[in-house]
């Protein structure tokens, strides 16, 4: 992740300059008439469209709808994924009699679940949440189980030396040691949850940011469409940043972070 | 992630692992009310509906259309991702310049590219391939960049000693050492590509397995929808397995520790 390293930490002047330059060139090309494609609108028009959408309240409403579906779906996936992940990580029998099923189910292209989900739940938030939960469950489950499986031997031995019960070992040794990996799973799950919310709104439930975007496209309102797209991008960035900031509050994760920075 | 998975999966006899799935399907089949449920049709009804509604040939040709879009899109993503990724990894100024823009593009949920592409390119095969390639380029690009920037310094020094030009250094030293990482990126990209292909087909195309799925939803044929879901599941699983096998065959003769493992 050299890229992430270059981007984080100190402010990257080159990077921001390039981003600004791209937007400026886009604007200039449209102004100068170099791009005449009818559907490529200049950034100023996108800002104006976003302003209109904000004034009418449509953009806020759509954002709240999508955000709610994402958070509910992700929270359900987190709860389920932690329980199942701990089960798969701690119990050998669960791995023997279940891992292949997990591998098969998680390789199912989630998008194909939207039509059956629409038929079962109708055009509703429940349909979105069901699809989001299904999709976000797998990365959380896999990372929880994987993190637990990779807890170093010495920690198991230390717990045994201290004569901790199996439950106590799991709660106060194994799960904290696996916490950094669990957080990675939660972040991957969040990214998947945002994508699936948008997808479910594009192809299923007519509400939220995904629907707004597709509706603007079909109504040939490219400025509105780009306004929705930028909002979707910002939603993803903000949720990820919130999760990263939140995870720093968990002691084992903060410790692992400090360790990495010391090296 | 995949390392942990391999560890968890381990050497257990794989077939036992399908037990919950088989039990689940059997229970679903045997629940008395399942027979006439409009929402949860039993598995036997899926296959029956699939046969009645489409016939074998239709499904095969739909899968073929989907497969073609996936493969062409992923191939484009692999080439573009490798070239741009290596440029980013090998040249520091390029990396610094594009990283902020790339971080935003990468964080953007891939499906948002579809409306833009539909407006700019119309409902064409080019549009589909563009969307699939856009969505699957990121894992390849980031892996290639990371591998290219961490090429063993010793190898670079060997290149300098042999007085290779910059271009030769990239072609003879950096590219070979990034191939394993690029293939790993493609493996991560493959499921994303399948999802994007099906989504593009759902939104206003009349070929491919995605359009069959959305037709089943619009006509309220839930057994058909579940049956197609089953077909898509097998398709995705087979595609992953196939690529894993191909990648293994290809990398079997790669020197140990050439890339980032």
Percent of chain B with pLDDT over 90: 15
Are B214 and A203 within 8 A, CB to CB?
Answer: yes
Phi and psi dihedrals of B220, rounded to 5? 55, 35
Residues on chain B touching A99 (C-beta within 8 angstroms)? 8-9, 12, 17
- pTM, whole model, 2 decimals? 0.80
The mean pLDDT of chain A is: 84
Domain ranges of chain A: 1-36, 41-262
All residues of chain B having their beta carbon less than 8 Å from the beta carbon of residue A194 are 109
Q: Is-contact B223 B49, C-beta < 8 A? A: yes
Q: How far is CA A104 from CA A235, B139, B185, in A?
A: 31, 22, 20
Stretch A38-42: mean pLDDT: 73
Q: How far B8 CA sits from the closest chain A CA (Å)?
A: 6
Pick from B3, B4, B95, B234 the residue to mutate for testing the A interface (most A CBs within 10 Å): B4
Pairwise CB contact (< 8 Å): B98 & A6: no
Q: Does A229 touch chain B (CB under 8 A)?
A: yes
Interface probe, candidates B3, B10, B17, chain A, greatest A C-beta count within 10 A = B17
Q: What is the CA radius of gyration of chain B?
A: 22
Residue A241, chain B, CB below 8 Å: the answer is no
Residues of A in contact with B240 (CB under 8 A): 107
**Residue B257 pLDDT grade (very low, low, confident, very high; cuts 50, 70, 90):** low
Q: Categorize the per-residue pLDDT at B3 as very low, low, confident or very high, splitting at 50, 70 and 90.
A: very low
CATH code, residues A41-262: 1.10.3720.10
On the question of pLDDT at A45 being above 50, the answer is: yes
Could you read off the pLDDT of A96-130 as tens digits, one per residue?
888 888 888 888 888 888 888 888 888 889 999 99
How close A40 comes to chain B (CA, Å)? 8
Q: In chain A, which among 124-153 make CB contacts under 8 A with chain B?
A: 139, 142-143, 145-147, 149-150
State the nearest Cα–Cα gap between B165 and chain A, in angstroms.
24
Report yes or no: A43 at the B interface, CB cutoff 8 Å.
no
Q: What stretches of B65-131 adopt beta strand conformation (E)?
A: none
* Distance between A149 CA and the closest CA of chain B, angstroms: 6
Position A33 confidence tier, pLDDT thresholds 50, 70, 90: low
A218-222, B6-10, B40-44 — most confident range:
A218-222
Do B4 and A146 count as a contact with CB atoms less than 8 A apart? yes
pLDDT digits (tens, 9 = 90+) for B76-105: 999 999 999 988 888 877 877 787 778 777
pLDDT reported for residue A35: 59
In chain B, the domains with their CATH numbers are 54-251 (1.10.3720.10)
pLDDT at position A186 over 60: yes
pLDDT digits (tens, 9 = 90+) for A120-172: 888 889 999 999 999 999 999 999 998 888 888 888 888 888 888 888 888 88
Q: Is A119 on the interface with B (CB under 8 A)?
A: yes
Cβ A43 vs Cβ A227: under 8 Å: no
Q: Do residues B147 and B178 touch, judged by C-beta distance below 8 A? A: yes
Per-chain mean pLDDT for chain B: 81
**A90 pLDDT above the threshold of 90:** no
Q: What value of ipTM does the predicted structure carry? A: 0.75
Provide the token pair at A96: 């023997």
Q: What is the pLDDT of residue B6?
A: 47
- Interface mutation target, options A111, A187, A224, chain B, most CBs of B under 10 Å: A111
A114 backbone φψ class: left, alpha, beta (φ>0; ψ -120 to 50): alpha
Phi/psi for B124 (5° steps) reads -125, 165
Give percent of chain A with pLDDT exceeding 70.
91
B221 — pLDDT class (breaks 50, 70, 90): confident
């Amino acid at each position: 992740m050299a890229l992430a390293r270059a981007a984080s930490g100190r402010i990257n002047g080159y990077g921001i300059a390039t981003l600004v330059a791209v937007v400026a060139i886009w604007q200039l090309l449209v102004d100068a008439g170099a791009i005449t494609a009818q559907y490529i609108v200049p950034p100023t028009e996108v800002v104006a469209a976003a302003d209109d959408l904000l004034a009418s309240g449509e953009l806020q409403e759509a954002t709240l709808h999508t955000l709610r579906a994402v958070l509910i779906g992700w929270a359900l996936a987190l709860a389920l994924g932690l329980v199942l992940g701990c089960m798969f990580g701690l119990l050998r029998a669960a791995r023997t009699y279940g891992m292949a099923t997990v591998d098969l189910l998680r390789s199912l292209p989630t998008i194909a679940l939207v039509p059956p989900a629409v038929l079962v739940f109708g055009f509703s938030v429940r349909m979105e949440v069901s699809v989001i939960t299904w999709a976000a469950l797998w990365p959380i489950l896999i990372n929880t189980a994987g993190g637990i499986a990779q807890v170093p031997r010495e920690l198991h031995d230390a717990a045994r030396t201290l004569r901790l019960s199996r439950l106590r070992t799991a709660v106060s040794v194994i799960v904290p040691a696996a916490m950094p990996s669990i957080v990675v799973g939660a972040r991957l799950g969040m990214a998947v949850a945002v994508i699936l919310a948008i997808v479910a709104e594009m192809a299923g439930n007519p509400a939220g940011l995904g629907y707004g975007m597709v509706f603007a496209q079909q109504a040939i309102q490219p400025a509105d469409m780009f306004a929705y797209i930028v909002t979707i991008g910002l939603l993803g960035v903000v949720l990820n940043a919130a999760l990263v900031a939140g995870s720093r509050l968990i002691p084992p994760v903060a410790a692992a972070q400090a360790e990495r920075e010391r090296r | 992630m995949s390392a942990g998975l391999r560890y968890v999966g381990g050497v257990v006899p794989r077939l036992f692992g399908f037990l919950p799935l088989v039990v689940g399907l059997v229970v679903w089949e045997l629940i008395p009310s399942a027979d006439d449920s409009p929402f949860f049709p039993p598995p036997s009804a899926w296959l029956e509906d699939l046969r009645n509604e489409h016939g074998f040939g239709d499904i095969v040709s739909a899968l073929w259309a989907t497969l073609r879009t996936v493969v062409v899109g992923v191939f484009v993503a692999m080439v573009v991702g490798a070239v741009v990724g290596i440029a980013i990894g090998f040249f520091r100024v390029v990396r610094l310049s594009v990283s902020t823009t790339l971080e935003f593009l990468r964080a953007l949920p891939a499906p948002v590219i579809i409306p833009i592409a539909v407006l700019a390119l119309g409902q064409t095969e080019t549009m589909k391939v563009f969307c699939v390639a856009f969505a699957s380029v990121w894992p390849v690009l980031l892996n290639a960049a990371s591998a290219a920037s961490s090429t063993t310094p010793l190898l670079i020094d060997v290149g300098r000693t042999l007085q290779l030009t910059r271009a030769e250094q990239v072609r003879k030293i950096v590219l070979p050492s990034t191939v394993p990482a690029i293939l790993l990126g493609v493996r991560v990209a493959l499921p994303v590509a399948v999802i994007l292909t099906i989504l593009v087909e759902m939104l206003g195309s009349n070929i491919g397995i995605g359009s069959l799925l959305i037709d089943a939803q619009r006509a309220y044929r839930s057994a058909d929808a579940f049956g197609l879901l089953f077909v898509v599941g097998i398709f995705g699983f087979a595609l992953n397995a196939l690529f894993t096998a191909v990648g293994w065959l290809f990398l079997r003769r790669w020197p140990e520790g050439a890339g980032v493992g």
